[in-house]
Amino acid sequence: MWSSTERSGEDPVFRKAFEALERVFRVRDPHEPRVFYCCYAGTHASVVAGWYHLGFRPSTYESLADLPYFDRRLTGEIGIPVFLGRDSFGADVYALGTGAGAKNLEMSLVFAISQRFPQARVLFFNVRALLDVRSRIGGFLSRRVGMVGPGRCLVARSLYGQLRSVGAVVQASLDLERKWRDNEGQSTGEVLWLDAGDVVRRRNKAGSAGQPGGPGRVEAG
């Protein structure tokens, strides 16, 4: 952890993200809950997970593609969280791009925030596992090559097909928020990191055990 944190401390994305997060925590009581969905650029999987968390249920992949911030943030915005809204538990929900640093950078943010704001209640949720090969190709076409229409369509179709997994990820966030709410009198904070890949694998394993025909349905709260 220490060596990882030290390396990330020299990373411009880490510095940008930590400075932006400091501003976020100064605006409101650090003890108030916050959820950051993290992917590469903060514009695809993190945006879909964030809006799903806030209650949006797309009926078509086109409606998913029309979500605010979906495939619309720039490379220069990696490291800057975008506020999506506040959920029913009072948690602020954000989408955050962490670039190539991925888990190491996010874990360094966990350590830095827990040190800087000991009372913070924060979840950093890496949702890159929601992206398959099609969505990665679509993101490359849209963000890097300039083929915005075809690329955005490809990413949206892929993530629309992953909505059950998105629901499982959001449910994990909501379960943590319920625990925070039930322990409201607790003065110490909790800064955590979760990986969507672990959540989806557990869901699929449980679904396969209960229903030999395939994964069970997971409803988000």
CA distance 202 to 196: 10
Question: Which residue blocks in 117-185 are alpha helix, DSSP H?
Answer: 133-140, 148-160, 163-182
Any idea where the domains of the chain sit in the sequence? 2-210
Per-chain mean pLDDT for the chain: 86
User: Any idea what DSSP says for residue 81?
Assistant: -
**Terminal Cα distance for the chain, rounded:** 33
Token pair of 15 as six digits: 């510095």
Beta strands in 25-75 (DSSP E): 33-39
In this structure, which amino acid lies at residue 17?
A
More confident: 100 or 8:
100
Query: Are 169 and 199 a contacting pair, CB within 8 Å?
Result: yes
Q: Average of pLDDT values for 97-121? A: 94
pLDDT at position 213 is 39
Q: What percent of the chain lies above the pLDDT cut of 90? A: 66
Query: What does the pLDDT look like over 45-55, one tens digit per residue?
Result: 999 999 999 99
Q: Average of pLDDT values for 88-99? A: 96
